[in-house]
Chains A and B, each alone.
Chain A
Amino acid sequence: MSENPNEKRRDFLQLSTITLGTVGSAAFIWPFLKSMNPAEDTLALGSTEVDISGIEEGKSITVKWRGKPVFIKRRTQQEIKEAKEVALTELKDPVEDVNRVQKEEWLVLVGICTHLGCVPLGQKMTDTKGDFNGWYCPCHGSHYDTSGRIRKGPAPNNLDVPPYSFLNDTTIKIG
């Protein structure tokens, strides 16, 4: 009596059962895990359009994007010149100003200090702008310049530039 073909058949059946069973279980869990991703309505609110026509030169507004503050600043010629003239060797997180803007008059930054997450001062006329004429974080003393780059203080990185685009001359879409 030959056991071999029987055993082979049984092993194949065993193997295919276990394989299919495992694949099936994984496929079953998959939609549950995927359901935890942001839902459609959350994703729909993932971008914000901002009308920038009312912002005068030298002024700055704060808008909310994905629950975070975003600074939109219309820079003066003086501020642009200051940002361009900084040597890269002076910067903790060296990035050219030209790489941080799409139109040099408009600076768009996520208004969260890269140290521990406070919102830096500098948006209002009455706020101090720190030693480098940009923003100053009161929590632990980080100073940012007119390009939002870290110049002094414990923050490791420049203020983030969010993804954005100009839909036209008066509208920016963030995200």
Chain B
Amino acid sequence: MSKKITINPITRLEGHGKIEIFLDDDGKVEDAFWQVVELRGFERFCLGRPAEEMTRIAPNICGVCPSAHHMAATKALDGLYGVDPTPTAKLIRQLEYNAFVIEDHYIHFFFLAAPDFVVGPDAHPAARNILGLIDKVGKETGLKVIEVRKRNREIIKYIFGKAAHPEGGLPGGVPGRITEEARKWIRETADFTVEFARFALQLFRDTVLGNKEYLEMVQSEAYKLKTYYMALVDENKKVTFYDGKVRVVDPEGNQYALFDPQDYTEHIGEWVEPWTYVKLTHLRKIGWKGLMVGDGTSLYRVGPLARLNVAEGMATPLAQEAYEEMFETLGGKPAHHTLAMNWARLICALQAAEHNQIIAADPFLTSKDIRNMDLRLRREGVGCVEAPRGTLFHHYKTDRNGILTMVNLIVATQHNAAPICLSVKQAAQEFVRGTDVKEGFLNRVEMAFRAYDPCLACATHALPGTIPFSINIRDKEGKIIRKL
């Protein structure tokens, strides 16, 4: 008899996403899908508004990465008004954006990824969390996480008024300058963050690389997916978060495409499947080949691991050392190891911290030349940044009065949606046999999913502040025969 396992996050907006794992008559995993009931209508909600409102509205799309939407919107306005921000404005924007990347990556690592390794993948889920982590490594680590987050939030707040939902993005510049007084504490924060970044990487080395079982898990075929990769790169083809060209490498690591973000529609196709509301992205010139990887696939991944696979190195020295260590350990580039996303995330955060040290020392940082007012409405603009979860596009068109007539967003989780399905299927095929599945094995399936840190209903949060999983094992008729 066929069986179905459902991993269903029961959110306040119930049914926003769930994983369906289908078993065949022998209890083996036949297929897996990540289904998303997406909030629709955001684009329509924006139409008819002045384009400048987007930097205020867009951060509300997501309760987790508002700074990414804010910066993409700000850059789309640059394009819409045909204006290049001043060098100082670019520095200030990068300073803020790096601070955001740092904050986001460490929240993911310490709250989501690290418990699986530090507390253990087989630990009871009630203990496999930040509290369990603190029990293992001491509260000093928790205090450091809070401190690094707080200090970097101060940077975001100083530049864009609010830490959680920045709103001050302006075409051609930034809303305020950095004083010499502020430079001092910004430099201290950058120094503190670099030290923390090194500490976090060492924690990863000690707990994961130093544990044979965990290292084997990271390197296991159950967590490898041969896809293309996409990310922004700078002029030297190094990792960048704020600006650059979009580079795509094939599953062997060869450059497949390098293009300006404004040309994204030539390269990215969107495919509609009846089982999900997410438009599944793929490489347009190859065409939609379905949910398959390896030879002939048109699927690509974005995010921390993609950034390192796509780039020819990191832009800062300590991050470069960590990058080399990672690829040496994993057997070269590209690394298809899904769980290595957690490692790559720490390396990206280190680069962001080092970059902020460089920015804090830049003499132009405190210049008063923070806005280029040479605004000329071009009626179309594309903004692109590396959001923490991957490449984010905002594309706007307006009428001659600057009123929005078209809004299109491609978010990181959309790029990753099809690969997430395949990663879950791959892990499930390794760890699920029939309905009598141990909790630790189901957690290993979840680990494949969690590595992407996908945004589901970006604009929502759960009551009482949670998005739990329930795992149902059903028979062919849909009756629950086991509940976890």
Q: Note whether A and B form a binding pair.
A: no
Q: Name A's B-contacting residues (CB within 8 A).
A: none
Q: Name B's A-contacting residues (CB within 8 A).
A: none
